[in-house]
Amino acid sequence: MTSLPLVIELTILVLAAFLGFEVISKVPAMLHTPLMSGANFIHGIVIVGAIIVLGGADDTFTKIVGFIAMVLATANVVGGWFVTDRMLGMFKRRPEPKKDERS
Amino acid sequence: MISDPDVVGLLYLVTIACFVIALKFLSSPKHARKGNWIGGAGMLVAIGTTLLLEGIGNWALIAVGGLIGGVVGLVGARNVRMTAMPQMVAIFNGVGGGAAALVALAEWHNEAGPTWDSTTSIVLSALIGSISFAGSIIAFAKLQELLSGRPIVFPGQNVVNILVLLAAAGLGIAAIAGAHEQWVLWALVALALLFGVMFVLPIGGADMPVVISLLNAFTGIAASATGFVLDSTVLIVSGMLVGAAGTLLTLLMAKAMNRSIANVLFGAFGQVQTGVGTARTDDGRTVRATTAEDVAVQLSFARKVIVVPGYGMAVAQAQHDVRQLADILEGRGVDVRYAIHPVAGRMPGHMNVLLAEANVPYTQLSEMDEINPEFAQTDVALVIGANDVTNPAARSDPGSPIYGMPILDVDKAASIIVLKRSMNPGFAGIDNELYLDPKTTMLFGDAKESILKLISAVKST
């Protein structure tokens, strides 16, 4: 992977923070739980780090650490996405016909 | 195999754009689900790109690890009950933070002569990731009631916590200054784990919305630090987006409880202040109990009813029955709305999800600022398992521990009916003046049973 100068990376970081505040302050309180689980899903992006570590591992130690990271990160990605989808599917304008009600 | 770094960078940029769009679409429940799919597509692009990077091997390990994690995540996400969503989010915060810390440990192990800036990233990633991991596990245990939800405190706790954190920070500085021995980072991780445990232990159940939001921010920032370790912009940006989301929610939750974040983290609420407000209530006023039949008559002949749900309703699993009651009332021309306090439930927005699950249309759910002016034109406010968020003492009594906390102006309604199990005080451990208001009547009993009685009483009215 290309190595960027630290200053550029910090610039990106700060701009991302402002962008995040801007976008997220528009999310209504009603959707704060899906927002949080959606954010959960997004920080599952550490899976990229897990793949790089595990994919490039030569010794047993790195393989073990990378493997555990891989398991954790994948659980994070998959679980975060599905639970968000499930929740957002529940928000409806009008009540559904009662037949598919889950209790 | 993708060898051109520009192509890699562009593909990761697609991921970043997808994530931002996903968050953007969350501004309305109409598009939110579509947004999540776009975010999912972005994640697949990032995973695919990373797998095709040059020098990636160990395919079997990647596949098996991915399979195990995927199955665990899928089964968890499919089966979790909506009341248990805070635990679920806590555990995902934990695994994300744990993964970030592990990546840092591996990089520490493999980097021959790390520079000060890559060491700084490794230290931050390991430190914040470990705190987030351990803290989230404790938060999970508390929410799942494996541990007591009450604050667990001992004398000198804050001092010990600060010393542990300082020791971890000291090791981090030593590492950055050039102490490149393996044990330095391991010791740092151990101390950070200890700190994570110790800083969540004294925090009570009612403060969990703040803690979960904060841990969410931590995990995001840990992922971002991992991005600096690996020189990966997609990690830096995505992690920071989550960091911003978590920070914003932490501030919102603290504001909704009128507490500073420092007070939540170091105050061990409910320990010192119990009994402060009790003297004021003993002035001859008493609570009035009522019957389901009386309430049914009031509800049936009301023009406008506002339901104020609290966590007590969710504990009793009464949300489906509440919805049914509301449907019957609406069928008779009553205008029914739901007033949702920002900290109703155990995490931000929790109550909305619980009601959405019970098929309450989101158009009926109103946020505090939006609905407060409407209480004055409301015939009946039906308070179900909510307590502190309706306590007028927050407005009027400077001596009350919750003074200044924004509340739902339930006491402005023409009449108030409170469904409550008993006269036990709420989480904050203080009495609610609302119950002594002459306009208030109390319907005692389990929320679910009371609602079921109300449904049959309304049907026969």
A24-51 per-position pLDDT tens digit: 999 999 999 999 999 999 999 999 999 9
pLDDT at position B266: 76
pLDDT at position B119: 92
Nearest chain A residue to B368 by CA distance is: A29
Residue B327 shares a structural domain with residue B386: yes
Mind listing the pLDDT tens digit for each residue in B185-197? 999 999 999 999 9
Q: State the pairing for strand pair B304-309/B380-384.
A: parallel
Nearest-CA neighbor of B249 among B365, B344, B349? B349
Stronger pLDDT, B154 or B9, i.e. the higher one: B9
Question: Does residue B250 form part of some domain?
Answer: yes
Mutation target vs B (from A46, A65, A67, A90; most B CBs, 10 A cutoff): A46
The residue among B79, B100, B125 that closes a domain is B79
Question: Does residue A19 form part of some domain?
Answer: yes
Residue B199 shares a structural domain with residue B334: no
Would you place residue A56 in the very low, low, confident or very high pLDDT band (cuts 50, 70, 90)? very high
Residues paired with residue B384 on neighbouring β-strands, in sequence order = B309, B419
Domain holding B54, by residue range, is 1-79
pLDDT at position B12: 96
Q: Does A7 touch chain B (CB under 8 A)?
A: no
pLDDT at B292 over 80: yes
Mind listing the pLDDT tens digit for each residue in A1-26? 457 889 999 999 999 999 999 999 99
CA separation (Å) from A9 to B162, B227, B460? 31, 9, 68
- Here the ipTM equals 0.91
Nearest chain A residue to B232 by CA distance is: A1
Task: Tell me the pLDDT of chain B averaged across its residues.
Answer: 89
The residue among B28, B54, B79 that closes a domain is B79
pLDDT at position B271: 44
Residue B321 shares a structural domain with residue B347: yes
- Give the Cα separation of B321 and B299 in Å (integer): 15
pLDDT at B276 over 70: no
Domain count, chain B: 3
Mind telling me how many Å the CA of B264 is from chain A's nearest CA? 20
Nearest-CA neighbor of B342 among B404, B403, B407, B395? B407
Would you place residue B281 in the very low, low, confident or very high pLDDT band (cuts 50, 70, 90)? very low
The answer to whether the Cβ–Cβ distance between B365 and A30 falls below 8 Å is yes
Question: Does residue A14 form part of some domain?
Answer: yes
Residue B96 shares a structural domain with residue B125: yes
Cα dihedral B108/B113/B117/B119 (nearest 10): 20
Residue B62 shares a structural domain with residue B166: no
pLDDT at position A40: 93
Stronger pLDDT, B44 or B270, i.e. the higher one: B44
Q: Does B151 touch chain A (CB under 8 A)?
A: no
- Give the Cα separation of B250 and B217 in Å (integer): 8
Question: Does residue A103 form part of some domain?
Answer: no
Q: Do residues B194 and B164 make contact, with C-beta atoms less than 8 angstroms apart?
A: yes
Residue B210 shares a structural domain with residue B230: yes
pLDDT at position B274: 39
Q: Does A11 touch chain B (CB under 8 A)?
A: no
Question: Does residue A97 form part of some domain?
Answer: no
Residue B204 shares a structural domain with residue B304: no
Residue B209 shares a structural domain with residue B322: no
Question: Does residue B87 form part of some domain?
Answer: no
pLDDT at position B279: 38
Question: Does residue B85 form part of some domain?
Answer: no
pLDDT at position B370: 92
pLDDT at position A78: 97
Q: Does A99 touch chain B (CB under 8 A)?
A: no
Question: Does residue B274 form part of some domain?
Answer: no
Question: Does residue A101 form part of some domain?
Answer: no
Residue B43 shares a structural domain with residue B108: no
Can you give the three-state secondary structure of chain B, one letter per residue?
CECCHHHHHHHHHHHHHHHHHHHHHCCCCCCHHHHHHHHHHHHHHHHHHHHCECCCCCHHHHHHHHHHHHHHHHHHHHHCCHHHHHHHHHHHHHHHHHHHHHHHHHHHHHCCCCCHHHHHHHHHHHHHHHHHHHHHHHHHHHHCCCCCCCCCCCCCHHHHHHHHHHHHHHHHHHHHHCCCCHHHHHHHHHHHHHHHHHHHCCCCHHHHHHHHHHHHHHHHHHHHHHHHHHCCHHHHHHHHHHHHHHHHHHHHHHHHCCCCHHHHHHHCCCCCCCCCCHHHHCCCCCCCECCHHHHHHHHHCCCEEEEEECHHHHHCCCHHHHHHHHHHHHHCCCEEEEEECCCCCCCCCHHHHHHHHCCCCHHHEEEHHHHHHHHHHCCEEEEECCCHHHCCHHHHCCCCCCCCCCCCCHHHCCEEEEEECCCCCCCCCCCCHHHHCCCEEEEECCHHHHHHHHHHHHHCC
Interface of A with B in 59-78 (CB under 8 A): 61-63, 65-78
The residue among B221, B237, B267 that closes a domain is B267
pLDDT at position A99: 46
Domain holding A39, by residue range, is 6-91
Mind listing the pLDDT tens digit for each residue in B213-239? 999 999 999 999 999 999 999 999 999
- Active-site positions of B? 388
CA separation (Å) from B81 to A102, B228, B350? 11, 37, 12
Rounded to an integer, the average pLDDT of B352-357 is 93
pLDDT at position B103: 95
Mind telling me how many Å the CA of A9 is from chain B's nearest CA? 7
Interface of A with B in 29-48 (CB under 8 A): 29-48
pLDDT at B3 over 90: no
Question: Does residue B261 form part of some domain?
Answer: yes
Stronger pLDDT, B265 or A1, i.e. the higher one: B265
Mutation target vs A (from B16, B24, B237; most A CBs, 10 A cutoff): B237
Question: Does residue B156 form part of some domain?
Answer: yes
CA separation (Å) from B87 to A37, B43, B205? 11, 24, 12
Question: Does residue B52 form part of some domain?
Answer: yes
What's the token pair of residue B385? 């398992």
Question: Does residue A74 form part of some domain?
Answer: yes
Residue B112 shares a structural domain with residue B159: yes
Mutation target vs A (from B58, B119, B448; most A CBs, 10 A cutoff): B58
Residues ≥6 apart with Cβ < 8 Å to B456: none
Share of chain B above pLDDT 70, in %: 94
A85 vs B contacts (CB less than 8 Å): 33, 36-37, 40
Question: Does residue A1 form part of some domain?
Answer: no
pLDDT at position B234: 96
Interface of B with A in 128-147 (CB under 8 A): none
pLDDT at position A101: 43
Residue B103 shares a structural domain with residue B74: no
Question: Does residue A102 form part of some domain?
Answer: no
Residue B130 shares a structural domain with residue B101: yes
Stronger pLDDT, B178 or A78, i.e. the higher one: A78
Phi/psi of residue B408, each to 5°? -80, 130
Taking each helix axis from N to C terminus, what angle separates B85-110 and A46-55, rounded to the nearest 10 degrees? Answer: 40
pLDDT at position B280: 43
pLDDT at position B105: 94
Question: Does residue B86 form part of some domain?
Answer: no
Domain count, chain A: 1
Rounded to an integer, the average pLDDT of B364-391 is 92
- Give the Cα separation of B78 and B75 in Å (integer): 5
Mind listing the pLDDT tens digit for each residue in B421-455? 877 665 555 678 888 888 999 999 888 999 999 99
Q: State the pairing for strand pair B440-444/B415-420.
A: parallel
